[in-house]
A and B are shown apart, each in its own frame.
Chain A
Amino acid sequence: MSPDKRIVVDVDNVTVRFKSFVAVEGLSLQIAKGERVAILGRTGAGKSTLLNLLVGNLAPTAGKVRVAGADPFSEHQALQGRIGMAFQSPRLVPWRTALGNVKLGLEILRRSKAEQDRTARQWLEQVHLGSAVDLYPSQLSGGMRQRVSLARAFAIEPDLILLDEAFSALDEVTAADLRNEFLRLCAQIEMTSLIVTHNIEEAFILADRVILLGRPAKILKTFVASEEPAPGTADFVAFRETIHKMIVGNASS
């Protein structure tokens, strides 16, 4: 049990090894309820691995992972309906329409047929796919598929939402729209979120706290977004440059 009920994500000194390759090394991270945390890091830093730990697809080699007090891997079922994740690729069920894919989580949670339908349609509207409900993934563009995958994760209104570069494949207008939508929803249902991105600006728009991850995954530095220049301001440009150097600089070490 987590001693502090406000702590939703508790990663304690976690190491992940794939055979001899170390992907995550001694990582510790806590996220409080309602907090939005962004993770920045180079490709191969172990960002997706961290999310896989939290969603329960992967057990740590050493250390402890808790989501709402439960181990997402060994107590998999205990967290039903509490975690939603949009993966780096859409991973849609190819023989289900957009609507059928968004219903997936609601179906597994055994919501009523009427609620499944209503909620799924509502979420497809939110991601601007109201006219594509009956199309199959093979009939959708890459960006549209990614939006279906977002709607699928959001539709169950989880306590913790995990986004793995979920806005990266979208055009800037849709991405900006969805970011706003995302912020509105987080505020509305006090959703906790962990957002992996390689877009520095996006990290500071979406998150309260931005974590820079080195390779193998360990925390290089943490920023509190409210204490840094706001995205869009002139100061942010220089600030972004510094962060960019820190991320790239870590590669050569």
Chain B
Amino acid sequence: MSSAEKKQNDLEAAKARQLMLRTALGYALAIAIFIVLIEVGHSSLPPYLFPSTTQILSNTVEALRHDWLDLLLTVVRLIFALLTATLLGWLLGLLMGAFRSSVGLVAMPILSILQAIPAASWILVASLWIAEPEIRVWLICFSLGLPLYAISVYEGVRDLDGELLEAVEQFRPTKWQVMYILLIPQSFVYLLISMRTVSSLVLRVLVFAELIGASTGVGARMSDAQTNFDMPMIFAWTVIMVVLNFAMLWLIDIAERYLLSWRREVAIR
């Protein structure tokens, strides 16, 4: 590496550090604002309607100590639903992209209609139809995630640069070779990128599905809290879910950084 390039890299690293510092400050500020809002709410409403920050925190600790198994269960359900939706969504999207005029043509409208169905409909129908709560919760999350992944992968495959394809086709590859040289890696990029939004969405719907249709998991514990009018506990679980969401995004970020390191914009961020 030349000294000019090294200088450039140092400059970029410094820029990245500064950006990270600014982001951290932004979050600190946001948390401070939330605390102030909570305290304002606490002092202007009856305490049973709006708990204080310390109450929320002590309830968070209690929830984690007492109901950690429910949290664990929610995490396991989330991972299983995401894994199955990711895997099948990827396969479906890839097939749609590889056989655009058959599989793509048929599957796309079906997925679009599935996507237009409100999550609430899935939750209600699944709760009435399916007796087994695990399958019920899984189906709700899966049916939400699958079309999102499939469509994103399909679009990724369709977006493949025609010039790049020509450059590969000069060597006369088989359809399968084009698949593993270009389509699969390209689809993988889109899969990773959509993972961020899809996982957050699935997590939120999962808790809702548990609230309606399960007796275990974070959603069920929130339902209990509502029945007992235990406002601090509702706030406590909310804090836990927000933290869980961030932890999940952080893991996805690490995966992205590692797997997409060839993309410069990801590498510097």
Contact = CB atoms under 8 A, between A and B. Distances in A.
B36 interface: no
A81 B172 contact: yes
Given A138-B262, A138-B263, A139-B264, A91 B167 contact: yes
A136 B263 CA distance: 8
Interface residues of B, number: 19
Contacts of B129: none
A29 interface: no
Interface stretch (B177-185, B213-221, B243-251): B177-185
B166 A80 contact: no
B172 A85 contact: no
A94 B262 contact: yes
Contacts of A94: 262-263
Contacts of B182: 93
Interface residues of A, number: 32
Main secondary structure of the interface of B (DSSP, over half): helix
Nearest to B263: A138
A108 B166 contact: no
A104 B180 CA distance: 12
A80 B264 CA distance: 34
A87 B167 contact: yes
B167 A76 contact: no
A84 B263 contact: no
Contacts of A57: 166, 169-170
A83 B170 CA distance: 7
A205 B166 CA distance: 29
Contacts of A91: 163-164, 166-167
B30 interface: no
Nearest to B180: A107
A138 B181 CA distance: 18
Nearest to A78: B172
What 8 A-B pairs have minimum CB-CB distances, sorted nearest first? Answer: A91-B167, A80-B172, A136-B262, A138-B264, A108-B171, A105-B171, A108-B173, A95-B262
Interface of A: 52, 55-57, 76-77, 79-81, 83-85, 87, 89, 91-95, 97, 104-105, 107-109, 136-139, 149, 153, 156
29 contacts: A55-B166, A55-B170, A56-B169, A56-B170, A57-B169, A57-B170, A76-B172, A80-B171, A81-B172, A85-B167, A85-B170, A87-B163, A87-B167, A89-B163, A91-B166, A92-B167, A93-B164, A93-B185, A95-B185, A95-B189, A104-B168, A107-B177, A108-B171, A108-B172, A108-B181, A138-B264, A139-B264, A149-B167, A153-B170
